[in-house]
Chains A and B, each alone.
Chain A
């Protein structure tokens, strides 16, 4: 009798599991087919979350891929129903080219653009924010950090301890500059520093132009220092303290309309749609740094 009862409940559990899997499959399929997530509205919200990169992404990495974001901005710009673009930024920054691509795309739009900085909008993410018409940040948002970093780990000492040597075979004296297996010479360090300074200069110029700051003003601010939102407002790096409501409020005042937001997101593949039906919110993005790679962080 007990065996019969046990078998019955096992059958129930098996059937429920099978139905659950089918439900996930159907919901993923419907989500994909309907393009769920992009309904009607007049304010396109383009999320920029995670490290900003030119490639990567995929459903597990949590990176903000510049090509996809530029596409979303262009799609919003081309949509006659969309009157404004709101960039929802929660990013520590990322690669300089990727950040510049997005900032350039923002500059090319003819629509009102607003940046809404949430937890973090530093470095490359701030470069992007500065390209918009108006920046709203929470008083406790971390923003600014107008600088370039190219630091890396030097493993040469560790290799020596393990009697491993680096055989240098290069054509061109700077070909292997920045490899972590040998120390940098003073000349090489100057060479790399010059590149970093160049990138820093481009970054500073862009922010100065976008935020209408003088050279001397930007030089004081662009030390790589990060600012809380309330501090950033005092030095004119952000325009208003607040959140989504304030960002949409600016749009409404400027365009004299009621803002109806619609999220512009990357279209998921079938697998991503299915998995997103069960997965919980992603954690922090993983970033791999190999060798020397300059990033705006």
Chain B
């Protein structure tokens, strides 16, 4: 005999900014551990150590191309990390830890790529990162510009 109890009512709203920020930091930490470590060998070998990087780059502008490749590869992998996990599971591990998720108006993969393009650490995409931060701070619903463009949003579900 089913009891036919009323279903839990939930509504989605924008999570607090501190949660989004800390979740992002957690994801960056995971990213650095997983995809950052293979690149750690490549960069010091090119520059002879981070401490002398600027001096070295001025002396060897050709190495800047190689460093750009490293940044591009890192950015691509970061975009894949966020996009794949948000599309498949609705959240990255950092977001899962804080109970927030991503919701999209369309069930396609491309909006999730679009919303994470600012993670590409090369011009002009990294400019979007700064614009996104400004948008989060000024908008009432705290949505990023890339979220508006991709028609996705970061939400937290609250039970009534």
Contact surface of A with B, Cβ cutoff 8 Å: 8, 11-12, 15-16, 19-20, 22-24, 26-28, 30-31, 33-34, 36-37, 39-40, 262, 276-278
Chain B positions within 8 Å of A15 at CB level:
81, 84-85, 88
Given A22-B77, A39-B47; A278-B56 close (CB under 8 Å) = no
In the complex, besides A8-B89, A37-B46, 5 extra interface pairs with C-beta distance below 8 angstroms are A23-B35, A23-B38, A34-B65, A39-B60, A278-B38
Chain A positions within 8 Å of B34 at CB level:
16, 19-20, 23
Report 27 cross-chain contacts, Cβ distance below 8 Å, ordered by A residue. A11-B85, A12-B85, A12-B89, A15-B85, A15-B88, A16-B30, A16-B34, A19-B34, A19-B81, A20-B35, A22-B35, A22-B77, A23-B37, A23-B77, A26-B39, A27-B38, A30-B73, A34-B46, A34-B66, A37-B45, A39-B46, A39-B47, A39-B56, A39-B63, A40-B56, A40-B59, A278-B38
Task: Please give me the residue from chain B that is nearest to A7 by CB atom.
Answer: B89
The docked-state distance in angstroms from the alpha carbon of A34 to that of B37 is 18
The docked-state distance in angstroms from the alpha carbon of A23 to that of B36 is 8
B69 at the interface (CB under 8 A from A): yes
Taking the closest CB of chain B, its distance from the CB of A22, in whole angstroms, is 6
Chain B positions within 8 Å of A30 at CB level:
42, 66, 69-70, 73
Given A23-B39, A27-B39; A11-B56 close (CB under 8 Å) = no
Task: Please give me the residue from chain A that is nearest to B80 by CB atom.
Answer: A19
Chain A positions within 8 Å of B47 at CB level:
39
Chain A positions within 8 Å of B69 at CB level:
30, 33-34
Chain B positions within 8 Å of A12 at CB level:
85, 89, 93
Chain A positions within 8 Å of B77 at CB level:
19, 22-23, 26
Instruction: Give the residue of A8, A11, A31 whose beta carbon is less than 8 angstroms from that of B42.
Output: A31
Task: Please give me the residue from chain A that is nearest to B84 by CB atom.
Answer: A15
B9 at the interface (CB under 8 A from A): no
The docked-state distance in angstroms from the alpha carbon of A209 to that of B48 is 37
B66, A11: Cβ atoms under 8 Å? no
B80, A36: Cβ atoms under 8 Å? no
Taking the closest CB of chain A, its distance from the CB of B83, in whole angstroms, is 10
Instruction: Give the residue of A8, A27, A33 whose beta carbon is less than 8 angstroms from that of B41.
Output: A27
Q: Map CB proximity to A onto B38-77 as digits: 1 under 8 Å, 0 otherwise.
A: 1101100111100000001001100101100110011001
B96 at the interface (CB under 8 A from A): yes
A34, B41: Cβ atoms under 8 Å? no
Taking the closest CB of chain B, its distance from the CB of A113, in whole angstroms, is 22
Taking the closest CB of chain B, its distance from the CB of A41, in whole angstroms, is 8
Taking the closest CB of chain B, its distance from the CB of A291, in whole angstroms, is 40
- Kindly identify, within residues 1 to 53 of chain B, every residue whose CB is under 8 Å from any CB belonging to chain A: 30, 34-39, 41-42, 45-48
Given A19-B34, A40-B56; A34-B63 close (CB under 8 Å) = yes
Chain B positions within 8 Å of A40 at CB level:
56, 59-60
The docked-state distance in angstroms from the alpha carbon of A22 to that of B93 is 19
The docked-state distance in angstroms from the alpha carbon of A49 to that of B84 is 44
Chain B positions within 8 Å of A36 at CB level:
42, 45-46, 66
Chain B positions within 8 Å of A278 at CB level:
38
